[in-house]
């Protein structure tokens, strides 16, 4: 299967190229970037020196890529820009997997509230499922696999929804009063040319940012509400940590049952034999980002605090793999009938 | 004034040596360590090469140091070991500033619950004040300055009590339902010779640990209860961050008044002109560990989330300075009538 | 093909497990470690959680592994220990790829001089080729592929021999007066439980060590002499850099011809179309470790300084991939008739 | 003594502010920066929150600062810009300590060759001594102390000249064939807003750059020639290391005498009792950047390699302290009759 990537100049675009370069079934035949057009992919991404011979960045005119022979496209573009390509590509019968925020929200008013602009393509929203693959499997849903346009979850939402959604759905935790802290590696901010993101400024520095209303909050709450079957308001506080990759998420939620029930729900939602990318760790141990960085896995565990009546739930992912490009490839694998782990181990 | 340090082989002992080496009034004349006895201080602490000529580590027999000519001693020892020295030194009329956990708790049963042993010197507890200097000043208390034995707060507690205690005292926040996440640099674990704390294992790694019942929790709750004037139970989750120094603390507490009232309380507790080591940052900005590392300052700010009704409060300190040795020197300065900032800028 | 690893508790053993876990032709069926026997591999190496189901560490008695059904074994053991296994396994007709230093030197007296002990198995030396795969190809040699026991080059030597050996062979540089500086990531020291290698001690720290007579020097000079066809003495200075992985090597050598001749030699030694794991970069650019870390590639470039008459040659590798386990898998691939890059992209 | 800083928006300017803020004799009363004019110094440099009350950045018009009441000015400006201020300030009778490259070279043609422009103020050159304080003391020179304009050495040159100059002067090493490798922390590049210097790009990355003709080479060779009393050409290769601060320099030079003679020369050049900022370490040990970062000290050691006949000499400094701002304050101290270490311990 020939696949293409639109907008591969950022970190998630680069990882997509690397993952597809070694994918056993998908063949990466087109990579676009306005700013890099004409340059060899293996020069722009020096980690790939000697690979992908002949593949160069091309211009990314929507009509041109719509007329291309690739069957499937990944969009690794900023929000607001993705929609234009999604329209052209789906109209041309291509399958589109979008890593931007453009089709993550069901509500256009929420989009406007959090992104400051009118939604760029509301007509596509209804037919663009938001796909957290493991949760779709938990719900027994398969229809998304044939959708023309699929929205990939954001990085923070992935680290939060995977542990929390099943617990809300089965009422193991209270939906009210949830407090979430997530620490992200610096690559989460994208490839930035500012003093703030320079090596000397980010080393030895931890801090909160963007609280209390980070953009991902819209996506987190909209999704949680689906599982809680009720409006859900959470306290979400993102942090920057002095590391390149990884997200560590800590969720405090009021327990409505014991820790055994929580683990039972998780084990049923994510049967360990058939869920390659979610690992459930024993209560009392804590996932560490170093063990998931460079993998497509989410690790999670929970502990009950009898003093407060809360569960303390922690999860870790690689923000660029499971939080973006790795999950996008996983989605392609499932939608295309490939092995779920193809190219991802 | 001649001062000594008992047990200077760890990180807080080393910083004490460095701070006292450049203190304008205190003169460091004795440094003990069983394992380092006989070695020159400036060889063991290479950052001090060429300084402290003639000063070598000596043995640390309690009776010997009790008979020494130093007026004041800092104890930078593990809990359980400190008490023995505190007894001998105070009996000999020395002033003692203890950086261990031995005299932080008022309750010996709490000590046993959290530290797993009987309290080593309950008879000294009553006369050993727990001194968070800025909070003592807020309360208008001076009596601690003449105490023979002073307990220094722990690092996590310092980062939590400074922002939270005044708010509980003035009922600006609810005492129930408080959630605290603190990310610490690796030096918080001490100078460790284990693979877990090796460079390759700690780089690129963030994780929770020790939840839900870290030892510092006992101290945090006992202190908060004094300010809330009622038993206080909090959810405290410590994390390890891939940095050497610094603590970033995030407190979520239900608001009982507006953000202006919160800032008013803080500004009254810590008048900025006369409180050199607490900086109150504008709401909407967030303190960063990089700006306090290598200083004795706590930076703090808060923001109100109208969606949840919570305050999100963040603070940062250097775990070894304001969280340990810097604060110990500040306590010495205040107790000895020196300038509060002497040797600390 | 069933393969096993003896001694997989260190960093190179761990990487071997990870590389073999995803190898398309080799199947990892046995992993031994005295200290880890009985534990699941995916528990000990948490990056592999959910993979290698059923595979646990076993005891590593030489006679037992000699009687096993695996065809090929990797030895990831300390020097001095490897030989015992090499004897038992080769006697049993197994193919052995040894990552230790035991069979790298042709001279047993050199071994004694640098390693402080008698060589543990001199009788095996003659039949144990030292295999730097790209150099073997340059020399048109194939016989090593059928050897029962193959010695893998060390990490520093790999980063030095790849650029320098062809230049000495074709007399593009003087063999006298060569100065080599190599900076290594901390993992080069192995998985260490000492304060010296702790996160707080290694961060922000660069230093030389082990000069002027690091153990790898014996291997470097013995090999260089083969290509220079004369005794060769070099100045080799290893350094530790605050990073986990990677080696950056800088070689200063007196030029005997122009920079074009140097590049011609390199291009002939490593035809870029058929040499996947050596990249020759343009003169005036410099390889960076970040681009080779996580790959099996060596990048190299050179510049001529007309002021001094020297070539300044720089190369980078990942010390654990091309410098150890990746190269070992590459050697297996070539010896077994697999694609050279199998499992390594 | 009132002092000012021109151009304090970069890293060396910031450190100057911090050092002067705690200096016992000099009082920092003016800090200029075109881009920061009007902002409080303690807001721009958050490490100083609560300090330097009332001090704000002002505009930096040369005539205006010439008319100011400050006695001494530090110039922390880019090369080419410094000269303009140096002229105006010296004409107004101020003492000027320049951290830029403008007055480091005696030769204007060398300036043009390495900096690509005509020298901006050749008429000031003759009266502007280049001051490496320890070397001036070794030479018994005092005249520089009364110069109106003093040029501070660059960071790489400081780490090279301190160990090497006395050895060349006393012919302990050959002047020909010297090879120097220096690894610098990222702050050496200044406060940069480019993707290249971003956290994600610099972590885990070591590489050479700027070889073979880095700008500092002109200064290094011009100075070495003075001590060797003959033209001196060296091979100098700078590297970037994944750390914020520090320079580690390795010099390989042909020995003309034994290691004892080398140490004798060093000990005579830098009597350890009276040279606070140079530490001579035993042969066989190696200085580490972590021990000098945050200090004004250079550590150095050397070892003789009988196999090659070379000395391997290593030194470490903090590039911003001893390599820039710390040394500038040291120069002010000596020129003003203050204690050499004032404000620097």
Q: Are residues C110 and C161 in the same domain?
A: no
Is the whole-model pTM more than 0.95? Answer: yes
For residue range D265-311, what is the model confidence (pLDDT) as tens digits? 999 999 999 999 999 999 999 999 999 999 999 999 999 999 999 99
CA distance C59 to D199: 43
Q: Which residues of C touch B191 (CB under 8 A)?
A: 195, 198, 200
Whether D181 has a pLDDT exceeding 90, the answer reads yes
Q: Which residue of chain D has the CA closest to A200?
A: D244
**Residue A60's pLDDT is what?**
82
Is the CB of A204 inside 8 Å of chain B's CB atoms?
Answer: yes
Mind telling me how many Å the CA of A255 is from chain B's nearest CA?
Answer: 13
Q: Are residues C122 and C54 in the same domain?
A: yes
CA distance B331 to B316: 20
Q: Roughly how many angstroms between the first and final C-alpha of chain C, as a whole number?
A: 20
**Residue C259's pLDDT is what?**
98
In a domain, C291, yes or no: yes
Mind telling me how many Å the CA of B317 is from chain A's nearest CA?
Answer: 11
Confidence of residue A137 (pLDDT cuts 50, 70, 90): very high
| Yes or no, beta carbons of C250 and D233 under 8 Å apart | no
For residue range C98-110, what is the model confidence (pLDDT) as tens digits? 999 999 999 999 9
For residue range C164-194, what is the model confidence (pLDDT) as tens digits? 999 999 999 999 999 999 999 999 999 999 9
In a domain, C332, yes or no: no
Whether A31 has a pLDDT exceeding 90, the answer reads yes
Q: Are residues D180 and D275 in the same domain?
A: yes
Q: Which residue of chain C has the CA closest to D247?
A: C206
Q: Are residues D119 and D163 in the same domain?
A: no
Q: Which residue of chain A has the CA closest to C293?
A: A47
In a domain, C330, yes or no: no
| Yes or no, beta carbons of D51 and B345 under 8 Å apart | yes
| Yes or no, beta carbons of B195 and C193 under 8 Å apart | yes
Q: Which residues of C touch D211 (CB under 8 A)?
A: 286, 303, 305, 312
| Yes or no, beta carbons of B288 and A207 under 8 Å apart | yes
* Distance from the Cα of residue A162 to its chain's centroid: 11
**Residue D179's pLDDT is what?**
98
Q: Are residues A36 and A165 in the same domain?
A: no
CA dihedral (D285, D287, D288, D289) in degrees, to 10, reads 180
Confidence of residue B268 (pLDDT cuts 50, 70, 90): very high
Mind telling me how many Å the CA of B236 is from chain A's nearest CA?
Answer: 10
| Yes or no, beta carbons of C47 and A294 under 8 Å apart | yes
CATH number of B235's domain: 3.30.360.10
When pLDDT is averaged across residues B238-257 and rounded to a whole number, the result is 98
Closest alpha carbon to C13 in C248, C329, C239: C329
**Alpha helices (H) along chain B:** 11-21, 41-44, 62-66, 82-91, 108-115, 122-125, 133-138, 155-169, 199-202, 216-228, 259-269, 289-292, 326-336
Mind telling me how many Å the CA of B97 is from chain A's nearest CA?
Answer: 29
Is the CB of A299 inside 8 Å of chain C's CB atoms?
Answer: yes
For residue range C250-291, what is the model confidence (pLDDT) as tens digits? 999 999 999 999 999 999 999 999 999 999 999 999 999 999
Q: Which residues of C touch A51 (CB under 8 A)?
A: 345
Mind telling me how many Å the CA of A201 is from chain D's nearest CA?
Answer: 8
Residue B274 token pair = 């006369």
Mean pLDDT estimate for chain A: 97
| Yes or no, beta carbons of A206 and B213 under 8 Å apart | no
Q: Which residues of D touch C186 (CB under 8 A)?
A: none
When pLDDT is averaged across residues D240-248 and rounded to a whole number, the result is 98
| Yes or no, beta carbons of C49 and A345 under 8 Å apart | no
When pLDDT is averaged across residues D325-342 and rounded to a whole number, the result is 98
Report whether C318 contacts C246 (CB < 8 A).
yes
Residue A170 token pair = 């089965």
| Yes or no, beta carbons of D276 and B50 under 8 Å apart | yes
**Residue D60's pLDDT is what?**
82
Helix axes B108-115, B216-228, angle to 10 degrees: 150
CA distance C257 to C168: 12
* Residue A155 is a catalytic residue: yes
Q: Are residues A102 and A175 in the same domain?
A: no
| Yes or no, beta carbons of D208 and C286 under 8 Å apart | yes
- Residues of D catalogued as catalytic: 155
Is the CB of D93 inside 8 Å of chain B's CB atoms?
Answer: no
Confidence of residue C60 (pLDDT cuts 50, 70, 90): confident
**Which DSSP string corresponds to B46-115?**
GGGTT-STT-BEE---HHHHHTSS-SEEEE---TTTHHHHHHHHHHTT-EEEE-SSTTT-S-HHHHHHHH
Whether B60 has a pLDDT exceeding 90, the answer reads no
| Yes or no, beta carbons of A200 and D242 under 8 Å apart | no
When pLDDT is averaged across residues C17-26 and rounded to a whole number, the result is 97
| Yes or no, beta carbons of A246 and B201 under 8 Å apart | no
Q: Which residue of chain B has the CA closest to A245?
A: B204
For residue range B153-181, what is the model confidence (pLDDT) as tens digits? 999 999 999 999 999 999 999 999 999 99
Q: Which residue has the tokens 């011009």?
A: D222
For residue range A238-289, what is the model confidence (pLDDT) as tens digits? 999 999 999 999 999 999 999 999 999 999 999 999 999 999 999 999 999 9
For residue range D118-155, what is the model confidence (pLDDT) as tens digits? 999 999 999 899 999 999 999 999 999 999 999 999 99
Is the CB of C126 inside 8 Å of chain B's CB atoms?
Answer: no
CA distance C299 to C304: 18
One-letter-per-residue 3-state SS of D106-167: CCHHHHHHHHCCCCCCHHHHCCCCECCHHHHHHCCCCHHHHCCEEECCCHHHHHHHHHHHHH
Q: Report the share of chain D in percent with pLDDT over 90.
A: 97
| Yes or no, beta carbons of D316 and C212 under 8 Å apart | no
Q: Are residues A17 and A107 in the same domain?
A: yes
| Yes or no, beta carbons of C242 and D245 under 8 Å apart | no
**How many domains does chain D divide into?**
2
In a domain, C333, yes or no: no
Q: Which residue of chain D has the CA closest to B345?
A: D22
Q: Which residue of chain C has the CA closest to B202?
A: C199
Is the CB of A207 inside 8 Å of chain D's CB atoms?
Answer: no
**Residue C71's pLDDT is what?**
97
For residue range B273-319, what is the model confidence (pLDDT) as tens digits? 999 999 999 999 999 999 999 999 999 999 999 999 999 999 999 99
Range of the domain at B258: 155-319
Q: Which residue has the tokens 């007329």?
A: A67
Is the CB of A49 inside 8 Å of chain C's CB atoms?
Answer: yes
In a domain, C84, yes or no: yes
Mind telling me how many Å the CA of C190 is from chain B's nearest CA?
Answer: 9
| Yes or no, beta carbons of D47 and B294 under 8 Å apart | yes
Among A151, A152, A155, A300, which one carries the catalytic annotation?
Answer: A155
Q: Which residues of A touch B252 (CB under 8 A)?
A: 179, 235, 237
**Residue B4's pLDDT is what?**
98
| Yes or no, beta carbons of C198 and B195 under 8 Å apart | no
CA distance B103 to B82: 9
In a domain, A342, yes or no: no
Q: Which residues of A touch C22 (CB under 8 A)?
A: 345
Residue from the list B183, B185, B244 with its beta carbon closest to the beta carbon of A183: B183
Residue from the list B201, B205, B243 with its beta carbon closest to the beta carbon of A206: B243
CATH number of A86's domain: 3.40.50.720
Q: Which residue has the tokens 């140490």?
A: D263
User: Of B128, B143, B175, at which residue does a domain stop?
Assistant: B128
Helix axes A11-21, A326-336, angle to 10 degrees: 50
Q: Are residues C90 and C194 in the same domain?
A: no
Among C19, C20, C26, C155, which one carries the catalytic annotation?
Answer: C155
Q: Which residues of C touch A291 (CB under 8 A)?
A: 46-47, 49
For residue range C199-250, what is the model confidence (pLDDT) as tens digits? 999 999 999 999 999 999 999 999 999 999 999 999 999 999 999 999 999 9
Confidence of residue C154 (pLDDT cuts 50, 70, 90): very high
Judged by CB atoms within 8 Å, which residues 274-293 of A form the interface with C?
Answer: 276-277, 279, 288, 291-292
Q: Which residue of chain C has the CA closest to A53?
A: C273
Q: Are residues C60 and C203 in the same domain?
A: no
Residue B14 token pair = 């080393």
When pLDDT is averaged across residues A209-230 and rounded to a whole number, the result is 97
**Strand duo C298-305 + C310-317: pairing:** antiparallel
Confidence of residue C149 (pLDDT cuts 50, 70, 90): very high
In a domain, D165, yes or no: yes
Q: Which residue of chain A has the CA closest to D185?
A: A200
Report whether D280 contacts D305 (CB < 8 A).
no
In a domain, B338, yes or no: no
Is the CB of D199 inside 8 Å of chain A's CB atoms?
Answer: yes
**Residue D264's pLDDT is what?**
98
Mind telling me how many Å the CA of A182 is from chain B's nearest CA?
Answer: 10
Q: Are residues C303 and C161 in the same domain?
A: yes
| Yes or no, beta carbons of B294 and D294 under 8 Å apart | yes
Q: Are residues B305 and B188 in the same domain?
A: yes
Beta bridge partners of C180: C236, C251
For residue range A285-332, what is the model confidence (pLDDT) as tens digits? 999 999 999 999 999 999 999 999 999 999 999 999 999 999 999 999
**Residue C219's pLDDT is what?**
97
Q: Report the share of chain C in percent with pLDDT over 70.
A: 100
Q: Which residue of chain D has the CA closest to B292?
A: D47
Q: Are residues B115 and B164 in the same domain?
A: no
**Residue B153's pLDDT is what?**
98
Among B45, B88, B155, B320, which one carries the catalytic annotation?
Answer: B155
């Amino acid at each position: 299967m020939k696949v293409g990537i639109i907008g591969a100049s950022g970190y998630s675009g680069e990882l997509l190229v690397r993952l597809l370069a070694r994918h056993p079934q998908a063949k990466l035949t087109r990579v676009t970037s306005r700013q890099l057009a004409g340059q060899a992919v293996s020069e722009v991404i020096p980690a790939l020196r000697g690979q992908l011979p002949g593949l160069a960045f091309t211009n990314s005119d929507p009509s041109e890529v719509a007329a291309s022979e690739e069957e499937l496209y990944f969009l690794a573009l900023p929000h607001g820009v993705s929609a234009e390509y999604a329209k052209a590509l789906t109209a041309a019968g291509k399958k589109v997997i979008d890593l931007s925020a453009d089709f993550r929200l069901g509500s256009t008013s929420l989009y406007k509230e959090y992104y400051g602009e009118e939604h760029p393509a509301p007509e596509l929203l209804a037919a663009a499922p938001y796909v957290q693959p493991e949760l779709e499997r938990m719900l027994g849903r398969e229809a998304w696999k044939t959708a023309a346009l699929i929205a990939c979850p954001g990085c923070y939402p992935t680290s939060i929804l995977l542990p929390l959604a099943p617990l809300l759905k089965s009422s193991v935790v209270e939906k009210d009063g949830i407090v979430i802290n997530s620490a992200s590696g610096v690559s989460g901010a994208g490839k930035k040319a500012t003093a703030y993101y320079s090596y000397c400024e980010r080393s030895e520095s931890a801090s909160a940012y963007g609280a209390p209303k980070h953009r991902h909050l819209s996506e987190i709450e909209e999704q949680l509400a689906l599982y809680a079957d009720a409006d859900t308001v959470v306290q979400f506080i993102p942090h920057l940590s002095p590391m390149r990759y990884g997200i560590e998420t800590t969720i405090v939620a009021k327990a409505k049952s014991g820790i055994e029930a929580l683990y039972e729900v998780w084990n049923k939602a994510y049967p360990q034999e058939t869920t390659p990318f979610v690992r459930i760790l024993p209560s009392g141990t804590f996932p560490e980002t170093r063990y998931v960085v460079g993998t497509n896995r989410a690790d999670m565990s929970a502990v009950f605090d009898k003093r407060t009546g809360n569960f303390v739930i922690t999860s870790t992912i690689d923000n660029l793999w499971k939080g973006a490009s790795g999950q996008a490839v996983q989605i392609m694998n499932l939608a295309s009938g490939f092995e779920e782990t193809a190219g991802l181990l």
